[in-house]
Every structure is written in C-alpha cells, then in structure tokens.
Amino acid sequence: MKVLNMGTQKHTKIVIEDEPHPVNGANHEYAVIGAKDPLGQNTSFARMIFQTGPVKEAGVNGCHHEDLLNIVLHRLEAFQAGHFKCRENAQAITKIEEALHWLNYRTRKRESRGVEGTTAL
C-alpha cells in the first residue's frame, strides 16, 4: 500500500492498493481514506478499480478516467447552479471539459485506425 502525496491530504489520503501493471506501468486500484474517526478507525470513502487490459481483449472490468472526470464535472456544475457559484469552479469545469475533449479525441483517433479496445498502438 502506497499513499500518494496529492489530494486534499488534510482530511483524506489517496492510497494505491496494487502494483503497477507490468506492461502499461499504471496502477489500477485506488482508495480514498478519511481521517481517523473517534474510535481511531480510518473511514474508506471510495474505492476505484480501473480497467485492466483493453476492453476487446479483457472485457469491461473497471472504470475509465472519463468516468471519474464526469462525476467531478457533474458535481461542480451542480455547485455552479446553486449557492456555491464562483470563478474557480467555472475554471475547474473548463479544464475538466478540456481533459474530456482530449481523452475522447484520442478514442476517436484509435477508432478511426481500428485499434480502439486493443493493445495496438
């Protein structure tokens, strides 16, 4: 288990729960753990399991980057529609939309080459 030095760190920590994949070098299992409760226990808030292997070869076995980005985008848009509207949220929304654009662009390019969902480069 490795703790990442990113995220809010004040109230939660991000924990890597697996070893990097031998082919792509990415980790696939993460958890967000909260600060200790009054009984001294850590609260697990979320566990993310990312796709391991191409969908056409391994089937759907985890979430994708776009899934998490869309969740955060949805929450920020809700804040913007309510009492917590601010410039910083608007900027974050723009950057998340940009990240989604580039990830979707990469997917469309792979689809046009007929390699989406495979290990082919």
The string of DSSP letters for 52-93 reads -S-HHHH-S-SB-HHHHHHHHHHHHHHHHTTTT--HHHHHHH
Mean pLDDT of the chain: 92
Using the predicted structure, report yes or no on whether residue 9 has a pLDDT greater than 80: no
pLDDT digits (tens, 9 = 90+) for 79-101: 999 999 999 999 999 999 999 99
pLDDT digits (tens, 9 = 90+) for 104-120: 999 999 999 999 998 88
Does the model's pTM come out above 0.75? yes
